[in-house]
Structure 1
Amino acid sequence: MADDLMARITATVQRGQAGERDAAREELESMWAEVEHGGGDDFHRCVIAHFLADLQADQRDELMWDERALAAVRGVSDERAQRFDQSLQVRGFMPSLYLSLADDHRRLGDATSAREFLENAQATSDALGHDPYGELVKGIMGKVRRALAEGSTEPLPDD
């Protein structure tokens, strides 16, 4: 099924990843407003919020968008996700969503909440495949775990 909004979201996310962060953030915020006014559903909300979080300059804003992504995923079914991509299962979203929140709380100095979200990410990590995406998320889990152990609130290293 063609999903024009997801095509726009994907193109915008790619622009942001290519370095056009401000333009991508503005476009995704516009799409968020569109979805909030009936132009989309919880799947769109989840994806937009998840990627908008990564484009924020302020850590509290990043946390807000990650919380919105987690709230929206509760309204997404596997059937809905699979209308976009047959391979998707909502459970597969959860490790990344929880991990984002763990890192947000860690960077804001709330180690207790960070550990709780990290535990949730770990508990759902069996949904990750043995593919580059799954390995990426698992690798970031390790980085967040180490940063928590060190008491660091600094951004994670890119290495």
Structure 2
Amino acid sequence: MAGDDGKCAVVEQRPEAEPEDGVPTRLGQAIMLHRAGDREEARNRLAALWQELGPRGDAFHRCALAHYLAGTQDDLRDALDWDLRALAAAEGFVTERPARARPAAAPAGGAPAGGAGPRHPLAALRAFFPALHLNLAADYAGLDRPADAHAQLRRARASVRALADGEHRRRLTAAILRLELRIEGAPGASR
């Protein structure tokens, strides 16, 4: 769901069976801490989980972790670094096309079209790309890098077109437009 700052968050869908490593549970606990206002503890737990996974950890988990770590940063440059890591992990995952499916986080808006239940992470990550690009655009806009922000908005717009029509797509499309208006300094655009 897009916030006033143009950033998007992903709502985790509960898998039927928890993976053995417990990463989704621990990620969810840290997210709940952040949403409850304990930004520092959430950041500490997410950073510890990031270190535990390491550079060869599951790319889907790394993408989700980096995405949420970006949201816990106090410095916009640090948020940008984490958002770039999230995008790199997602792009690497899509490129590698893993052989086995695992339960996945669903984009904001709940379950995938066609009913509840886990989805293959590849499909979830493809649905996640518009939010990743939107977050990067918001970072660049906040760092007064409008050319980079516009480039990410173009990528967000292109990837949102691949989503099925629905509430998630409409929210992302509206968030893209709001951020574009904010970057352009349009009257009435929230800052």
TM-score (structure 2 length as normaliser): 0.71
More contact order relative to length (CA 8 Å, sep ≥ 6)? 2
Within the candidate set 38, 46, 62, 1:28 is matched to 46
Given that 1:43 and 1:81 are in contact with CA atoms closer than 8 Å, whether structure 2 keeps it comes out as no
Given that 1:35 and 1:45 are in contact with CA atoms closer than 8 Å, whether structure 2 keeps it comes out as yes
User: Deviation at 1:18?
Assistant: 1.7
Structure 2 counterparts to residues 6-155 of structure 1, below 5 A: 6-36=24-54, 40-77=57-94, 83-85=102-104, 86-87=118-119, 89=123, 90-150=125-185
1:21 and 1:134, CA in 2 relative to 1: closer, same or farther beyond 3 A?
farther
How many residues were matched structurally? 153
* Larger CA deviation: 78-87 vs 62-71: 78-87
- What stretches of structure 1 of length at least 5 have no aligned partner? none
1:79 and 1:18, CA in 2 relative to 1: closer, same or farther beyond 3 A?
farther
User: Deviation at 1:31?
Assistant: 0.4
* Larger CA deviation: 55-64 vs 72-81: 72-81
User: Deviation at 1:21?
Assistant: 1.0
User: Deviation at 1:37?
Assistant: 6.5
1:150 and 1:81, CA in 2 relative to 1: closer, same or farther beyond 3 A?
farther
Given that 1:43 and 1:80 are in contact with CA atoms closer than 8 Å, whether structure 2 keeps it comes out as no
More helix by share: 1
Counterpart CA distance in 2 for 1:101 and 1:125 is 15
TM-score (structure 1 length as normaliser): 0.85
- One-letter identity of the residue aligned with 1:29: A
Measured on the aligned residues, the alpha-carbon RMSD in Å equals 2.4
Counterpart CA distance in 1 for 2:179 and 2:48 is 31
Given that 1:16 and 1:24 are in contact with CA atoms closer than 8 Å, whether structure 2 keeps it comes out as yes
- Quote the residue 1:2 is aligned against: 18
